[in-house]
Amino acid sequence: MDRIFSGVQPSGNMTLGNYLGAIRNWVKLQDDYESIFCVVDMHAITVWQDPDDLRRATREVAAGMLAAGVDPKKNIIFNQSNVSAHAELGWVLNCVARLGWLNRMTQFKEKAGKHKENASCGLYVYPNLMAADILLYKATHVPVGDDQKQHLELARDIAQKFNNDFGKEVFPLPDPMIFGTATRVMSLRDGSKKMSKSDPSEYARIGMTDDADAIAKKIRKAKTDPHPIPDNVDGFEDRLEAKNLMNIYGALNDMKLEDVCAEYGGQSFADFKKALTDLAVAKLSPISEEMKRYMDDPAQIDAILRDGAERANAIAQPVLDEVKDVVGFLRP
Ligand code: AQP
């Protein structure tokens, strides 16, 4: 059976983007693949995280996966720092990846901003650790949002260079799986920016634990334009915010964008926003309630993460040993 690896950073409250771009797809795939889902806490610390917040967010991301329907028995759910092979393979891959490759990564440029000398070294080599996460399990498929496409291509380049350098087909080249109507959910305040956990504005995102009032308020305040809803997909030129809201509607309701245009074309944003609010509340409330139930029982989450780490380690350790032998590390 093909194997999936994917992860979410515990770097804040999980967003609708994480749900629609990643976790919801994992639930759809879990019957057809052997799946490993990771709370990537080592990635999260590439930017400052308060330790208490990190602990809480780690449990919350696990709770989000569970509440959305990821089955911890059928799949492996664990946090990255509990399987030390990630860091060990990450180092080897730091020595395989080329500086020129990392220099092209747009996420580093976006996150480091104007003062890149002040960014952590970890943020720079983040894509190498992400490659290690995937290759450590010889994963064949990686379901992600569109924003991770470039990192996935880099992971393939790193796998290929490792195999070529050592003349052995150690790693399969992982295939990205990017699908659904909302592969890139945009900020509610700026349709050219991705919806992110770490956006300083709460109003830029819908959180997976937002209650009905918060969802309604955020959608009401979401940026739009003075024109009516377009009635076909060619009507979105310069209307990024309109397109984003309609994409979100389509994704939540399993509809194509063209069908959303056909249903709401010509109507006002006020009416459309009401419909979107009702839909978002109906789809997200059961998940956020289940998340709260898990968060009230942290021992249950910790037990799932512990069990997941043991099972992940059982797959990872032989691969790490193989890498050590191929590289020439003695294992006395
Ligand atoms: N806006 C988005 N639309 C679609 N997919 C998204 N993902 C994230 N944001 C969107 C997908 O969610 C998975 C987990 O992402 P992550 O937490 O590992 O890192 P990220 O992509 O950097 O997410 P954030 O929310 O923007 O976190 P911060 O603010 O900490 O950087 C990935 O599959 C991602 O594609």
Task: Say if ligand 1 is within 6 A of residue 148 CB.
Answer: yes
Helix residue spans in 69-148 (DSSP H): 85-94, 99-103, 106-112, 121-135
| Marked catalytic residue, from 28, 114, 138, 197 | 197
The distance between the two most distant Cα atoms of the chain, rounded to a whole number of Å, is 72
Walk me through the domains of the chain, giving residue ranges and CATH numbers: 3-177+297-327 (3.40.50.620), 202-293 (1.10.240.10)
Alpha carbon distance 113, 106 (integer Å): 10
- Report which protein residue has its CA nearest ligand 1's atom 2: 17
279-313 pLDDT per residue, tens = 999 999 999 999 999 999 999 999 999 999 999 99
Asked if residue 15 has its Cβ within 6 Å of ligand 1, the reply is: yes
Q: pLDDT tens digits for 197-232? A: 989 999 999 999 999 999 999 999 999 999 999 998
- Which residue puts its alpha carbon closest to atom 34 of ligand 1? 145
Average the pLDDT over 180-202 and give the result: 92
pLDDT band, residue 238 (cuts 50/70/90): confident
Find all residues with CB under 8 Å of 268, minimum gap 6, and list them: 228, 229
Is the CB of residue 308 below 6 angstroms from any atom belonging to ligand 1?
A: no
pTM: 0.95
Q: Which atom of ligand 1 is nearest to the CA of 186?
A: 1
Strand order in the sheet with 141-143: 76-79, 34-39, 3-8, 141-143, 175-177
Candidate of 13, 18, 35 to mutate for ligand 1, largest count of ligand atoms within 8 Å of Cβ: 18
Residue 39 CB neighbour total at 10 angstroms = 28
pLDDT at 182: 81
